[in-house]
Amino acid sequence: MGMVDITEKAIVRRQAEAVGRIFLSPDTIEKIGTHQIKKGDPLLVAEVSAMNAAKQTYLLIPHCHQIPLDTVKVTFEVSKETIEARCFVRAQARTGVEMEALVGVSIALNTLWDMVKYLEKDEMGQYPETRITDIKVIMKEKGH
């Protein structure tokens, strides 16, 4: 089978945005807001990891094409029990960038979990309330 041949497709502006959320304890959220996380600023580290992941999507998903991205923007919205991550990606390409946006948001959320996991564990070393949910593409556009 192999990769889909996109040679004949026109290069056009393509953009996509994905979103997802992580549920954390209110205590963990408070510690993030007051810069008390041992490993550093989780939002900053998650932003950088998401940008890096989006650019390397083709290495992670075998049928994805290598796409030079024009921009990757990662934002976070913090509430009492969740952090919502958004990853916006744009490129001039022959194929869409929704997988890059999904990988970016997924890695942002996993990075947040990694940064605060020591606070989220219960006495048995488990994560009874911590969870990543609602990862989805909320926008995909193809220009001319």
Using CA atoms, how far residue 120 sits from 28, 62, 80, 87, in Å, is 7, 33, 15, 24
Which entry of 5, 41, 70, 114 is annotated as an active-site residue? Answer: 114
Listed residue (44, 52, 43) closest to 22, CA to CA: 43
Give yes or no: 122 in active site: no
Listed residue (124, 117, 123) closest to 39, CA to CA: 117
Spatial CB neighbours of 126, under 8 Å, sequence gap ≥ 6: none
In DSSP terms, 96 is beta-bridged to none
Q: What are phi and psi of 53, to 5 degrees?
A: -65, -45
Active-site residue numbers?
A: 114
